[in-house]
């Protein structure tokens, strides 16, 4: 079965055209993702002497993965802090209600 053209989303990353196919992707979301990757790759290329596209892509991927890992860690830390403070508030409420 051939895919409909609506299922194909054209994007441009680092001066190359790509067509994203498959899944139920929102075209605006895919375009935003592609722009983010493109921005990362251009920033790396403009601040380094690297001209090899593959190396630029790998460094961009590492930077994006680092950002993801840091956000996950921050989320976990925040969640633990909220849980700890919630437990403290529950104890204080219990103490106040017993009086």
Q: What is the DSSP string of 8-42?
A: EEEEEETTEEEEEESS---HHHHHHHHHHHHHHHH
- Answer yes or no: are the C-beta atoms of 50 and 56 closer than 8 Å: yes
Determine the pLDDT at residue 2: 42
Q: Note the pLDDT tens digit of each residue in 26-46.
A: 999 999 999 999 999 999 999
Helix (H) or strand (E) holding 83: helix 53-98
Per the listing, tokens 């992707």 go with 25
45-94 pLDDT tens trace: 999 999 999 999 999 999 999 999 999 988 878 777 777 788 777 877 87
- Shortest CA distance to 36 belongs to which of 11, 3, 54? 11
Q: Give the residue extent of every domain in the chain.
A: 5-98
Percent of the chain having pLDDT more than 70? 93
């Amino acid at each position: 079965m051939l895919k409909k053209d609506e299922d194909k989303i054209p994007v441009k990353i680092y001066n190359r055209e790509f067509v994203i196919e498959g899944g139920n992707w929102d075209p605006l979301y895919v375009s935003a993702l592609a722009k983010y990757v493109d921005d990362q790759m251009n920033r790396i290329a403009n601040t380094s002497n690297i001209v090899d596209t593959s190396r630029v892509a790998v460094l961009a991927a590492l930077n994006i993965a680092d950002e993801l890992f840091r956000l996950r860690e921050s989320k976990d830390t925040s969640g633990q802090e909220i849980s700890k403070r919630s437990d403290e508030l529950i104890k204080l409420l219990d103490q106040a209600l017993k009086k």
